[in-house]
Amino acid sequence: MYLKILQGFHKLTEREMELFTEIIETHIRIMNRYDKELADKTYLGTESRREMMKKLGMDNHVFRNYIYKFKGLGLIRAEDGQINPLYMPDYSRSEVHITITCQP
C-alpha cells in the first residue's frame, strides 16, 4: 500500500512494486531482529536474495535486472547500495507518516 501511494513518483509496475516491497520488508525484518547496520549490509545479500527470488518466483538474472533498474530510478542508491530513505517507511511508530517536499 505504501508504494502504491507513492506510485506517481516512482512509476513502478505492479511486479516491480511487489519486489521493491519485498526488499523493504526484508530490510525491516533484519533491522528488527538485529540492527540497522547489519540490515544495511545484508538485505541484498545472497541469502536474502535467494529467499526473495523463491518467494516471487524469479531467477537471478531477472532479479539483478530489477535491482539495476531500481538503482537507475534512485530507489536504491547506486553509490552505497542502500534503499533511498525517501522510499523507506518509518515503522518505529504505530503509524506511517508521508512527507512530500517539492523543490523549485
pLDDT by 10s per residue, the chain, length 104: 445 555 555 578 888 888 988 998 888 888 888 888 888 788 888 999 999 999 999 999 999 999 999 999 888 888 888 888 877 776 555 555 555 556 55
Q: What is the pTM of this model?
A: 0.76
The grid cell for 24 is 523493504
| Amino acid in the structure at residue 88 | M
3-state DSSP of the chain? CHHHHCHHHHCCCHHHHHHHHHHHHHHHHHHHHCCHHHHHHHCCCHHHHHHHHHHHCCCHHHHHHHHHHHHHHCCECCCCCCECHHHCCCCCCCCCCCCCCCCC
CA torsion 94-32-20-69 (nearest 10°) is 130
d(CA 57, CA 74): 24
